[in-house]
Amino acid sequence: MFRKVLNFSMLILIIAGFVIGIYFSCFSKSQQQQENSKNDAIFAMLQTKQIEVTEFFTFGKCLNFSGKLTGVSKDNFESAKLYLTNGNDFEKTYQLEGKIEEGNLNLSTTSQINTGLILDDLVPGEYILLVRIKMNNNVSPKYYSLSNCSELGDIEYFTITKENANRKIHINFKNKTYDEHEYAYLSLNVTPAEKPEDVYDIVIDAGHGGKDTGEKSGSDTEADITLSYAKLLKERLEVQGLKVKLTRDDVNTDTFTSTNMYDENGRITTACRSKAKYMLSFHINSGNRGLKGLEIYSPCKSNLDFAQNMANKITTYTNLEYSNNHSFKKGEGVYVRNFTQNVINEYTNTANKKGYEPYPITLETPYLYTIREVGGIATNAYVDGRNKTYSANRYYHSNQGIECYQIEMGYIKNDLEIIKNEMEPYVTAISEAVLENL
């Protein structure tokens, strides 16, 4: 009797397993069919001509691209927008700038490269990025997919750590055949993922170090003060659950020089390798010309709200004032310094004398290397090793850029006592601004 019951139970289990297997197989096929149906609906509305992408990159938390649509007459174009969809319950548009040149419609994301398509806002799923173009002789807009005509590769992006959770976003171009046409398209695949050990949210750079002490006043050096600030800010941000990397600390400070920032363990290499979204670089200004106060230098072509919030909080929480320096000023305590034509000419003359091809510097190239060289193609980074004074920045042509701000904490002649004695409220102000920006 017992054996009959056992055999019957085994039979029931086998039948149940078989039924469950069929169910999940059908469910999986049904899901795949739904995905295919969603994709078909997207590709059914596309034009066969595609946008030729010449650049695509992340900067901070934002995805940007530049490209062109060939054969567009000037009097036809009305407007263009980026169109992001998962083919089902999500769609969102982002502003694009368009300009007709020589029969091509040149397109790019907004001139503020840290606004627009914020990657950290995306929930898990697969998205397709298209361009929606409205011609003034058509009632309805037309949709175009994106084809990679650049030499840039895939991007693996990790979101800022929030509530101990992260997502990975794989940004890459794919191909699909639909209705006998071959389409290239840009895919954003968002999945929950643990952040790798060597990937960080924020990198903090303590200016100077080693034999390069920076500004000095008696026994006080810029290098020592900036390191103290960097370590305290790291502690504050880590308490909030963020992953923070220092470019230099008590262990590696002695190895720093004024020319090794692009070496294997140099500050720029360390920063870029971290894949952080933001970088804060601490410095102290010299005391020339009676200048005093706070100056936060920001990337060009960017929204300055974060920098302005930092400046406002620092001057509110401490006795430090906004700087009285008017050169390169964009707001109270906020500055954007690019190369000027005179400085470009000087760099060109130096290159000619030393026998190397001048760097491709323009009036939109950030002058401060901490801002420029961690931003990759987003900030026109250019140190490729042709000037033998420095090694090459291996990330100068990267399409994953860090949004960097250089905090000139004050002037050593007029602000040193505030900087030394008010480190706690100073760092509190910065950490609050950082958290509000995330």
Q: Give 204-217 as a DSSP string.
A: EEE--BTTB--SEE
DSSP state, residue 119 = G
CB atoms under 10 Å from CB of 23, counted, come to: 10
**Residue 72 · residue 206 · CB < 8 Å:** no
Alpha-carbon distance of 164 to 168, in angstroms, equals 14
Which residue ranges does the chain devote to CATH 2.60.40? 43-192
Superfamily classification of domain 202-437: Zn-dependent exopeptidases (3.40.630.40)
Q: Show the CA angle centred on residue 43, arms to residues 38 and 44, nearest 5°.
A: 95
**Residue 144 · residue 133 · CB < 8 Å:** yes
Phi, psi dihedral angles at 9 (to 5 degrees): -65, -40
What was the pLDDT predicted at 7? 61
Nearest to 356 by CA among 397, 394, 390: 390
Q: Show the CA angle centred on residue 234, arms to residues 400 and 217, nearest 5°.
A: 105
Strand-pairing partners, residue 295, are 408
**Residue 150 · residue 170 · CB < 8 Å:** no
Alpha helices in 59-197 (DSSP H): none
Nearest to 310 by CA among 302, 412, 318: 318
What was the pLDDT predicted at 33? 46
Which residue ranges does the chain devote to CATH 3.40.630.40? 202-437
What was the pLDDT predicted at 422? 98
What was the pLDDT predicted at 72? 84
Alpha-carbon distance of 305 to 168, in angstroms, equals 27
Nearest to 53 by CA among 45, 63, 42, 61: 63
Low-confidence ranges of the chain (pLDDT < 70): 1-11, 13-39
CATH architecture of 43-192: Sandwich (2.60)
What was the pLDDT predicted at 32? 45
What sign does the CA torsion over 62, 55, 125, 200 have? negative
Nearest to 201 by CA among 155, 231, 243, 247: 243
For residue 175, the Cα-to-chain-centroid distance in whole angstroms is 26
Rg (the chain; Cα; Å): 26
What was the pLDDT predicted at 16? 60
